[in-house]
Structure 1
């Protein structure tokens, strides 16, 4: 299906004569979204700067359906349009003009200059770059270093991914200096892009966060089928505390050990509302353990 955001990617390629490197495409797309009131893509600070997992996935999907071609070379990946479709004309007037403005302002830059510009202008997105030292001055690198959030106090966090993109979710972990993400779903699978186990683990690893799946603390899906009110959730969680949490204290102690070792640890599941997710009860149990030296924060 050709979603609007995918039309933007195809139009971007069209504006740049049908071909871009993968790195340049990500940077141009990032610069384009800076002027959008509602951004078509979110980005994280990744190995070469600003990066959208969703855009990368969309490229793979559109290659599968023949809209474009992805070629791998020693020098990197190249994205080429295979189907001409006047994609620019499919966009809103403001988005059409924004893409043309990106081409006019940045189209003459080399890939290296383009990356350097995004690092200089948006230093947060360069904090995990593997090439910043090659491109920037000492002063510019110092600006990037100041963007890194570092905390010494140990802390337990709780975060759900309902209603937010993978990139927004990962950015929340980064700005709170989370070192370990503990996935307490019974089955770490999601219909939502980015949140199945392998995808989430890859995203975390790419920004220096350890991922741990702890299925022992999850709730079987069949127990979640008839949840129509808060009272239904409360009944489910009352049973959960009496059974799963009591039977799996070793799993709780494993998370506590992670906090003692790595300092800042988040427990995660799907629900946005903490009152409708068992991770809240996992967090409460961790806060009630004896002799704790960490605080709690809801993300």
Structure 2
């Protein structure tokens, strides 16, 4: 059984002749998703504009399942359907119509045409592009540059990834002009795609956000097994303040030094609610070390 979003990906390939470059497929999925109320894929501004990590992962999975092939050539990466199975018919009627409209509007555009079109139409997604200056006019580049966030002043943030996609998470970092992501999980591994240490660090680097893992400030997973109420969390975190935080002052001072260097730093862990995550106690400790340090949960 295929996830619906993967049906959209396969239908896009099918409607556009069964073979596209990876960049073409990303741009077409982006343009298709703009018309969806609940988007199949979300995107971030990456090396060549709008990019979905989830779509990229789905391509790999569908390749492993034998539904498409991935070929690296001197002209780029090509994604090709193994066979046509009328994937378009598996979409709901609204998405079928939207897909045919997408074909009508963009089927004659080359890869570079699609890239430039998305840069001009959606300049925010070109802010980290490696090629924007080569394909856009001076005025168009100026519009892209105005999309960049430049916020002055030292500020501490906290963010959890529970219940959101990697792309949504990363866009929150971009919008808040985060310069450093400080991962305070004891074990920086996640079953949720994109949030294990290597994946998350790679994604951040591609967005010009530094990443550091400080496991010394994490909480052992077994201590979190039987938490049922906010009172349970509070008891755990009170103990955490008296033990882990007290015994790892060097790590706290390290983050304080990093705040001076990077200015806008986010502490990250899993929980959506900061009051049910130890990162809130780390933030509290850092605020006690600094006069007038601003703080925000995002």
Residues 66 and 83 of structure 1 are in contact (CA less than 8 Å); yes or no, is this contact kept in structure 2?
Answer: no
- Runs of 4+ displaced beyond 4 Å: none
Residue 147 of structure 1 is matched in structure 2 by 147
Residue 243 of structure 1 is matched in structure 2 by 243
| CA shift digits 1:148-176 (9 cap, x unpaired) | 00012111100000010000000000111
Residue 298 of structure 1 is matched in structure 2 by 297
Residues 227 and 233 of structure 1 are in contact (CA less than 8 Å); yes or no, is this contact kept in structure 2?
Answer: yes
Report SS of the residue matched to 1:243: helix
Query: Aligned equivalents of 1:39 and 1:284: distance in 2?
Result: 36
Residue 191 of structure 2 is matched in structure 1 by 191
Report SS of the residue matched to 1:194: coil
Residue 168 of structure 1 is matched in structure 2 by 168
Report SS of the residue matched to 1:283: helix
TM-score, normalised by the number of residues in structure 1: 0.98
Q: Are 1:16 and 2:16 an aligned pair? A: yes
Residue 48 of structure 1 is matched in structure 2 by 48
Residue 66 of structure 1 is matched in structure 2 by 66
Query: Aligned equivalents of 1:14 and 1:84: distance in 2?
Result: 6
Residue 228 of structure 1 is matched in structure 2 by 228
Q: CA RMSD for the aligned pairs?
A: 0.8
| CA shift digits 1:56-77 (9 cap, x unpaired) | 0000000001000000012210
Query: Aligned equivalents of 1:117 and 1:251: distance in 2?
Result: 46
Report SS of the residue matched to 1:288: helix
Residue 111 of structure 2 is matched in structure 1 by 111
| CA shift digits 1:80-136 (9 cap, x unpaired) | 000322111000111111111111001101111111000000000000000000111
Query: Aligned equivalents of 1:162 and 1:70: distance in 2?
Result: 31
Query: Aligned equivalents of 1:98 and 1:292: distance in 2?
Result: 54
CA shift, 1:293, in A, is 5.2
CA shift, 1:2, in A, is 1.4
Residue 206 of structure 1 is matched in structure 2 by 206
TM-score, normalised by the number of residues in structure 2: 0.99
Unaligned runs of 5+ in 1: none
Query: Aligned equivalents of 1:252 and 1:96: distance in 2?
Result: 53
